[in-house]
Amino acid sequence: MLSRDWLLVETLVEGDVSTVVAAGAHPRHWSGLGSLRRILGPALATSAVQAVQQCRSGESQRVVSGDTVVVAEPVSCAFGGVHGVQLWAGPADAPIPPRRRVAAWDWEADTELAHHGPGLEELVFARSPDQVQVIRTPPEAFGAMTRFDGRLDYFAMVARLHEGGQWQGEVDMVGDDDQVRHFQMITRARPAHRRISALMHAIPELDTAKPATDPDVAMLRAVSQRSGVGVGIIELTSALIYEWAGPPPPPLDRWLVQRPVIDPDDLSALRAACRELDPGTVARLKLRVQFADGEPITAQAELVAMSTGHGLLRVWSE
């Protein structure tokens, strides 16, 4: 039996724990490599597993066995590793179909910065080459999400950052061209590296949910952008601001695309408020922040906790 579609294998963590996460446009739920025997047959499955393992070095693989061929192509991350392998098996003399569109990213817990792998910004944001960057803040990515049905489960995994933590689901992202695109997002926690590693797999064939926009998030963004203050959506366990529903006004506007250094005492007070604040109540805070090559700025802040484990942080300058 041969695969008519490219298979996507995630290799997000070290060791022999790779899984099949997509067959063509169709997501699969962490199917072990043993499932390749069912998909490809025993003989080809052995060659395919070997090709995946060898592909972790970053080199494409092509294994011919009789009248069949196994092709493996790596999906590289920003750090030079391989986060996924695209796999195809078919007749040796048959044309190989175009690969799926897949790219990788990583998020570092200690810096709270995302590192985008080759081709990710072009794929997800339709970004022109002169606008592509490797390092981004969480709001730059999550602010482009128009639907993220698994938001709470994903951020619970991020906050725990525990061995074996994993999440996958489907998300909608709006690009620089204002077009919405549909993706399968596959993520694993890597606590030894203090990192979340991920793949983004374009699946426009499954973009059938209408409307794509989360109405609650859309309403929050619409109201916040007219409020005159910055409104950040914050994960209370980690105190991570992962989206600015309303942009911070000057001189705090750099917070949209930079992660400032927050005075340690003020950061401790913010994290304490995130832990201790009852849902629906408000805490007033002072946050002394400093952006790269800038002077310290004192921001006034109000934190409102919600019952979902998330909150809103309103900020403005003195």
pLDDT digits (tens, 9 = 90+) for 29-38: 999 999 999 8
**Residue 120 pLDDT exceeds 50:** yes
User: Cα–Cα distance between 69 and 84 in angstroms, integer?
Assistant: 20
Mean pLDDT of 309-318: 90
Mean pLDDT of all residues in 116-123:
98
Residue 119 pLDDT > 90:
yes
Query: How confident is the model over 227-248, as a mean pLDDT?
Result: 90
At 138, is the pLDDT very low, low, confident or very high (cuts 50, 70, 90)? Answer: very high
User: Has residue 12 got a pLDDT over 70?
Assistant: yes
Q: Is the pLDDT of residue 225 over 70?
A: no
pLDDT attached to residue 110: 93
Which residues are CB-contacts of 207 (< 8 A; sequence separation ≥ 6)?
172, 181, 182
pLDDT of 2: 52
Rounded to an integer, the average pLDDT of 121-138 is 96
Q: Tell me which of 103-117, 131-145, 203-217, 253-267 is least confident.
A: 203-217
Let me know if 281 is exposed, middle or buried by CB neighbors in 10 A (0-12, 13-18, 19+).
exposed
pLDDT of residue 212: 47
Of residues 110 and 16, more confidence is placed in 110
Global pTM?
Answer: 0.90
pLDDT level of residue 149 (50, 70, 90 thresholds): confident
Q: Which residue has the higher pLDDT, 143 or 218?
A: 143
Average pLDDT for 78-99: 94
* pLDDT score recorded for residue 1: 45
Q: Note the pLDDT of residue 61.
A: 96
Residue 213, pLDDT score = 52
